[in-house]
Amino acid sequence: MDLVGVDVGLDVSRSFYEQSFGEPRWRPSPITVKTVAAGRHGRKSARGYYEYPESGQHRPPDPEPRPVGAATVWS
């Protein structure tokens, strides 16, 4: 939900809940409601369920791929 927006996901959840006439399985998560109320909307606000630093590095870089035909070493 961080990529699309936690607030957008909450609106979708609320819509499903209303359209299903209050079916409990579609009730929006209380955690999502609290996250949105705190202004944590995902990547667009630099914080949602995860934090997104201004440097753009939100995870370590991917390792270099192995050359084609390289043997796999299992430890």
User: 63-70, long-range: CB within 8 Å, 24+ apart, which pairs?
Assistant: none
1 vs 49: CA distance, rounded Å: 8
- Residue 4's nearest CA partner among 24, 32, 29, 34 is 32
pLDDT in tens, 17-66: 999 999 999 999 999 999 999 999 999 999 999 888 887 666 778 889 88
Whether the predicted pLDDT of 70 surpasses 70: no
pTM comes to: 0.70
Q: Output the pLDDT for position 73.
A: 64
**Is 26 within 8 Å of 20 (Cβ atoms)?**
yes
Q: Output the pLDDT for position 65.
A: 87
1 vs 33: CA distance, rounded Å: 13
Q: Output the pLDDT for position 9.
A: 96
